[in-house]
């Protein structure tokens, strides 16, 4: 589906934990898939802010995002009220690819759980076996919805055992680069495909400014790809990690 500019309305805004808010937005957006994101315009800010879609109610045309407070843009969004307007581009990016015959492990670190909650819902609809593990630094940062929640330690501490115990065929992950890099290396060692959702600071978010470029190695050739347009989902094994 081609991305367009929408003026949506805030349906509900809910405080999820100490610094995360859930925004339910009604708009004319007809469809989207997990792993895609929206790019939100904030007043007095030239650059739009990207947020993963964490749910989409197709019948009522309501999309949801989770906003973790960071700077001025996220502060503005967390202060929106019911019926306030919100200007965004959607759906952006490629989204996750689903495989109906593969047992999936979903690994989220912190706010990286956002696109995985939507992915889990899509997998449930298609009867795809899945197991979502998420990790948070402290109790008051927990975002609910996982099959297993790790607090304090690394979400990767027990990951090899989980992969083996649950006969995992494929991995999907979102979180800080260091987690995605290590998980991709583990997946490669175990010969399991691993899709990662990358986060990069974005300027245009439509593939024009070249500000979000990463390098991928495919068929022994290294080429540049943009996270906003070609991604944000990539195969971990193809990324030339920093």
Residues 11 and 86 sit within 8 Å (Cβ to Cβ): no
| Residue 229: CB minimum distance to ligand FES, A | 6
| Candidate ranges 15-23, 66-74, 102-110, 203-211; the one touching ligand FES (CB under 6 A) | 203-211
| Residue 221: CB minimum distance to ligand FAD, A | 25
Residue 162 or residue 204: which is nearer to ligand FES going by CB?
204
Supply angle C-alpha 46, 50, 54, rounded to 5.
150
Residue 74 or residue 134: which is nearer to ligand FAD going by CB?
74
HEC string for the chain? CCCEEEEEEEEEEEEEECCEEEEEEECCCCCCCCCCEEEECCCCCCCCEEEEEEEEECCCCEEEEEEECCCHHHHHHHCCCCCCEEEEEEEECCCCCCCCCCCEEEEEEHHHHHHHHHHHHHHHHCCCCEEEEEEECCHHHCCCCCCEEEECCCCCCCHHHHHHHCCCCEEEEECCHHHHHHHHHHHHHCCCCEEEECCCCCCCCCCCCCCCEEEEEECCEEEEEECCCCCCEEEHHHECCC
Chain position carrying tokens 């309305």? 9
Residue 104 or residue 212: which is nearer to ligand FES going by CB?
212
Q: Is 203 in the site for ligand FES (CB under 6 A)?
A: yes
Q: Is 212 in the site for ligand FES (CB under 6 A)?
A: yes
Residue 51 or residue 131: which is nearer to ligand FES going by CB?
51
Q: Is 51 in the site for ligand FAD (CB under 6 A)?
A: yes
Query: For ligand FES, which residue of 207, 216, 235, 237 counts as binding (CB under 6 A)?
Result: 207
Site string for ligand FAD, 172-211 (x = CB under 6 A): ---------------------------xxxx---------
Q: Is 41 in the site for ligand FES (CB under 6 A)?
A: no
Q: Is 210 in the site for ligand FES (CB under 6 A)?
A: yes
| Residue 162: CB minimum distance to ligand FAD, A | 24
Q: Is 192 in the site for ligand FES (CB under 6 A)?
A: no
Residue 51 or residue 172: which is nearer to ligand FAD going by CB?
51
């Amino acid at each position: 589906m081609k991305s367009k500019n929408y003026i949506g309305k805030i349906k509900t805004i809910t405080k999820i934990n100490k610094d995360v808010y859930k925004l339910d937005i009604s708009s004319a957006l007809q469809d989207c898939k997990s792993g895609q994101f929206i790019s939100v315009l904030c007043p007095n800010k030239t650059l739009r802010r990207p947020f993963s879609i964490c749910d989409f109610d197709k019948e009522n045309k309501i999309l949801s995002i989770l906003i973790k407070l960071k700077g001025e843009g996220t502060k503005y969004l967390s202060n929106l009220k019911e019926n306030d307007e919100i200007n965004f581009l959607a759906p952006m990016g490629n989204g996750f690819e689903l495989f109906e015959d593969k047992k999936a492990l979903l690994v989220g670190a912190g706010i990286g759980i956002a696109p995985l909650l939507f992915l889990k819902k899509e997998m449930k609809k298609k009867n795809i076996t899945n197991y979502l593990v998420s990790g948070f630094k402290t109790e008051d940062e927990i975002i609910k919805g996982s099959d297993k929640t790790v607090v304090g330690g690394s979400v990767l501490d027990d990951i090899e055992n989980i992969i083996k115990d649950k006969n995992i065929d494929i991995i999907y992950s979102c979180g800080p680069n260091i987690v995605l890099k290590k998980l991709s290396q583990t997946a490669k060692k175990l010969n399991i495909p691993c899709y990662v959702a990358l986060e990069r600071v974005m300027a245009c978010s439509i593939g024009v400014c070249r500000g979000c470029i990463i390098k991928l190695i495919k068929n022994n050739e290294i080429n540049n790809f943009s996270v906003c347009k070609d991604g944000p989902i990539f195969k971990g094994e193809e990324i030339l990690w920093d």
